[in-house]
Structure 1
Amino acid sequence: MSTAGAPGARGLETTGLTKSFGGVRAVDDASVVFHHGAVNALIGPNGSGKTTFFNCVTGLVKPDSGIASYRGEDITGRPPHRIARAGIGRSFQLCRIFPRMTVLENMLVPARSRSLLGRLRSARQRDDVDRARELLARVGIEHLEDAEARDLSYGQQKLLELAGVLMADPETIMLDEPAGGVNPALIDRISALVRALNAEGRTFLIVEHNMDLVMSLSDHVVVFDRGRPIAAGSPDEVRDDPRVLEAYLGI
């Protein structure tokens, strides 16, 4: 497994990152530093540019200007597969799974070598399958490996997506609303998984609207408003920041 290093070490950073759609700047000159080895949160009102920021960093959208760097290396504009190889994995606000494939088959898609068909033909002998089963057990859905992904609850699909991200062994994991649409018991399970994985060396960057989860889970919080970072610090510092209160509450 990868080790992420001590909190505060150099990790994911952006300088002047900007992305416009038409006349709207979804991300506006965003310069941000996320703490390597920590659980980071990116929060902000709806439409504040959080997911667009994720997409720029992970190569799904090419920024208009600015730089994204990871471990001191410029990753701006790289395609998603190259950013994944650099050590960054991500989930999505709406789960990206293969609904008509089984849970185990979904797990084998991110694995690195040869074709999916080749994997399935020799499934009982392959290291990838053993690892997939270990990760399914880690997230608590190993009993569903033969079920079609579309038959899982939404929370179980979130767990499957997280397990799939872990198949690529990333040192930094970006989660887009992991608690969205999930029942409280599964939120607790996801939270416990994040804590355990972070203790083992994984860095997290989480976009989330559940403020109780953010404040209890995060070491470092960055707040966006209208595409720009307006505050950063510990959960307590951010909670009491007047700029954050204005952005959320208009006061």
Structure 2
Amino acid sequence: MKGLRVAGLTKSFGGVRAVDDASVTFQHGRINALIGPNGSGKTTFFNCVTGMVKPDAGIVTYHDRDITGRGAHKIAHEGIGRSFQLCRVFPRLTAVENLLAAVRPGSIVRALAPARLKSDVDRALELLTRVGIEHLADVEARDLSYGQQKLLELAGVLMADPETILLDEPAGGVNPALIERIGVLVRELNAEGRTFLIVEHNMDVVMSLSDHVVVFDRGRPIAEGPPDVVRADPLVLAAYLGG
């Protein structure tokens, strides 16, 4: 089966079960959202799926291939890219240098070298244009606004040309104009065939952007479906939306 599936995923830290026997199938080719109250296990779930953390139990499959517990770089090679809740950029590298470093992880010296591959530079500039910050190509990342850093991080994810993209709170700390820009980009990229899984607390973003919503509470899904259906679910209202 195409897409990302998780069965019985479990991860504990000490005596706390952050993810508790969670089973979810995300819709391939669609925009999926993962929501839930703080501490419900969303980021730990992300980390287990993308190889940042090894799960204690359960299976993660992508296009029916078992990717459980593989390293993050191996999962990225499968076609899964991700952003982080707190932006991960190299503050003293320019925007274009950040993208060149992203395409060759661990090779910052190569990214700064004069003999950079023209194809990589061209792609980096193309992606900076795509996210709307091409005019900042030669500006150090530390001098960008937080929203611009979010756009830069998304461009860095796209450098690897992933088929599935996981975004951890893309609207967090971002002004409304840039939230709208990120939303437009997600819709455009989805229309081009990319699948999204988005963790987000901004319910306006979730409900306007998503095709399919999964709700976590206490480490496992309690509801899923189209945004309007999830919004009205009594379990969701009790656990998260304050009903």
Normalising TM by the smaller chain, what interval? over 0.9
Farther off after superposition, 76-85 or 103-112: 103-112
Q: Which residue of 1 aligns with 2:137?
A: 145
Q: Which residue of 2 aligns with 1:5?
A: none
Taking structure 1 as reference, are residues 228 and 59 closer, same or farther at Cα in structure 2, changes over 3 Å only? same
Q: Does 1:57 align with 2:49?
A: yes
What CA deviation, in whole Å up to 9, does each residue of 1:51-96 have, x standing for no partner?
Answer: 0000000001000000011111110000000000000000000000
Secondary structure at the aligned position of 2:91 is classed as coil
Kindly report the root-mean-square deviation, in angstroms, between the aligned alpha carbons of the 2 structures.
Answer: 1.4
Residue 111 of structure 1: CA displacement?
1.5
Q: Which residue of 1 aligns with 2:207?
A: 215
Taking structure 1 as reference, are residues 181 and 147 closer, same or farther at Cα in structure 2, changes over 3 Å only? same
Distance, in Å, in 2 between the alignment partners of 1:241 and 1:171 is 31
What CA deviation, in whole Å up to 9, does each residue of 1:199-230 have, x standing for no partner?
Answer: 00010000000000000000000000000100
Residue 117 of structure 1: CA displacement?
3.3
The amino acid across from 1:205 in the alignment is: L
Q: Which residue of 1 aligns with 2:76?
A: 84
Distance, in Å, in 2 between the alignment partners of 1:113 and 1:101 is 14
Secondary structure at the aligned position of 2:99 is classed as helix
Q: Which residue of 2 aligns with 1:242?
A: 234
The answer for unaligned runs of 5 or more in structure 1 is: 1-8
Q: Which residue of 1 aligns with 2:181?
A: 189
Q: Which residue of 2 aligns with 1:4?
A: none
Aligned counterpart for 1:122 among listed residues 90, 115, 120: 115
Residue 10 of structure 1: CA displacement?
2.3
Q: Please show how residues 223-242 of structure 1 align to structure 2 within 5 Å.
A: 223-242=215-234
The answer for unaligned runs of 5 or more in structure 2 is: none
Distance, in Å, in 1 between the alignment partners of 2:222 and 2:57 is 19
Give the number of aligned pairs: 242
Q: Which residue of 2 aligns with 1:172?
A: 164
Aligned counterpart for 1:94 among listed residues 86, 90, 110: 86
Aligned counterpart for 1:110 among listed residues 102, 107, 112: 102
Secondary structure at the aligned position of 2:33 is classed as strand
Q: Which residue of 2 aligns with 1:22?
A: 14
Secondary structure at the aligned position of 2:39 is classed as coil
Distance, in Å, in 2 between the alignment partners of 1:142 and 1:198 is 22
Q: Which residue of 2 aligns with 1:75?
A: 67
Distance, in Å, in 1 between the alignment partners of 2:105 and 2:69 is 25
Taking structure 1 as reference, are residues 101 and 112 closer, same or farther at Cα in structure 2, changes over 3 Å only? closer
Q: Please show how residues 190-205 of structure 1 align to structure 2 within 5 Å.
A: 190-205=182-197
Distance, in Å, in 2 between the alignment partners of 1:102 and 1:82 is 27
Distance, in Å, in 1 between the alignment partners of 2:181 and 2:166 is 17
The amino acid across from 1:148 in the alignment is: E
Runs of 4+ in 1 over 4 A off after TM superposition: 112-116
Residue 121 of structure 1: CA displacement?
1.2
The amino acid across from 2:193 in the alignment is: G
TM-score of the two chains, using structure 2 as the length reference: 0.96
Distance, in Å, in 1 between the alignment partners of 2:141 and 2:21 is 39
The amino acid across from 2:88 in the alignment is: R
Distance, in Å, in 2 between the alignment partners of 1:215 and 1:11 is 22
Q: Does 1:42 align with 2:34?
A: yes
Residue 126 of structure 1: CA displacement?
1.1
Residue 246 of structure 1: CA displacement?
1.0
The amino acid across from 2:122 in the alignment is: D
Distance, in Å, in 2 between the alignment partners of 1:30 and 1:109 is 35
Distance, in Å, in 1 between the alignment partners of 2:237 and 2:106 is 51
